Amino acid sequence: MFTREYAKEMDKQDNLSKYRKEFYIKEGQIYLDGNSLGLLSKRAEASLLNVLQSWRDNGIDGWTEGDNPWFYLSENLGEKMASLVGAGKEEVVVTGSTTSNLHQLVASFYMPNGNKTKILADELAFPTDIYALQSQLEIKGYNHRTHLLKAISTDGHFLKEEDIIKEMTEEIALIVLPSILYRSGQILDMKRLTKEAHKRNIIIGFDLCHSIGAISHELSAWGVDFAFWCNYKHLNGGPGSVAGLYVNKQHFGTKPGLAGWFSSKKDKQFDMEHQLTPEKNAGAFQMGTPHILSLAPIIGSLSMFNEAGIDNIRKKSLMLTSYMQELIKEELAPYNFVIRSPKEDEKRGGHLFLEHPEAARICKALKANNVIPDFRSPNGIRIAPVALYNTFEEVWLTVQKLKGIMEEEQYKQFENIRGVIA
């Protein structure tokens, strides 16, 4: 399995290989940063151009005319995205950004009452989640240093569900956790955590930024209260693409904490009343006018995901990361790399996380060798072989290039500090 011929044979057996030609891939480059920004597909480009043409041809009538009327686009895309998170079609809407959606959902579902006033997160969370939770606590008049609790990681890489559950005390009003940890790629047991939270009458939501488009979910069946995510990573929606949110139907009718024009029922919105009549589904948690040109690429991208099937995507993703793990162990053993991602398939998301004291330099050397990874301070290298456009041969080549970088000490040409964008 450690030969290039083996990798090529795996590619021949790949039933998703046809999708690679649908993406713009720079010749000679191996792109392994799809967990930060997915590549542009021809379908996403076409759907963007289609919406631009609708603007050109229809002007303001594009809100209700054309192939994808803008007035209903957030809801229509939510319906198409619902299967990726295991939700009903009215439980998902494509809107906002990761951070604005988190603010909206916490403003809507964080209801301190009596001694139940604290929010539980985790110490490995992506910073924007923590910033938003701190802000929401302060808006409600609480000190985030005392009221934002963080489940502790014993090793700095993984979280144990048991440790999170221990923090679900009578003081917790709301829990916000990642579905997949952005560094190690560990998948949390969302079903178990939701069940335990609900036993204690606690609302729980998840950040799906690193899981949507990479693994399957069953949010509605698990009873998850809410979720939010970006669409520019595994879903290839483009830089700054509009994000998404999920609200369990049991919460339909909850007043949006941050109301705006697009929170309104569609048939009431243009009555111009100063009394909001909120939509009776996830659409109520929209705020302002949707960013149509940043929604447009998602139309094309989603068509590919629904065609390929998330289960097929997940199967290949696991095969790619498993193969890469084995190659790293075989080829890079002398060079002090430590794999900090879960070894078990069921616990590993769509990327690998390698630690090395010279990580920043090594990332720069990889780029000089036409391999695009992702650096995470202080000493982490994230590598994401993406099922729809990466190959087993690319995985093999990447490890060989990495071996060459270490053998020849190519990394010493670079400073061991991150760039402005890591």
Binding site members for pyridoxal 5'-phosphate: 98-99, 126-129, 207, 210, 232, 261, 289
Q: List the Cα angle 107/286/231 in 5-degree steps.
A: 100
Q: Name the H helices within 309-354.
A: 310-331
Q: Where are the beta strands (DSSP E) in 278-408?
A: 338-339, 352-355, 371-372, 374-376, 380-383
Place of tokens 């990798």: 7
Whole-number Cα distances in Å, 247 to 83, 280, 414 = 14, 11, 47
Catalogue the long-range contacts made by 64-68 (C-beta closer than 8 Å, 24 or more residues apart).
Answer: 68/296, 68/299
Q: Phi/psi of residue 336, each to 5°?
A: 65, 25
CB 81 within 8 A of CB 91: no
Q: Centre a 10 Å sphere on the Cβ of residue 280 and count the other Cβ atoms it contains.
A: 12
CA–chain centroid gap for 379, Å, is 22
Looking at residue 209, its amino acid is C
Strands 374-376 and 118-122: unpaired
Binding residues: 98-99, 126-129, 207, 210, 232, 261, 289
Q: Which two tokens stand for residue 111?
A: 């209801």
Strands 203-207 and 226-229: parallel
To the nearest 10 degrees (0 to 180), the angle between helices 4-12 and 392-407 is 160
CB 140 within 8 A of CB 112: yes
Separation between Cα atoms, residue 213 and residue 337, nearest integer Å: 28
Q: Which two tokens stand for residue 75?
A: 């809801």
Q: Which two tokens stand for residue 201?
A: 């009458």
Separation between Cα atoms, residue 332 and residue 344, nearest integer Å: 20
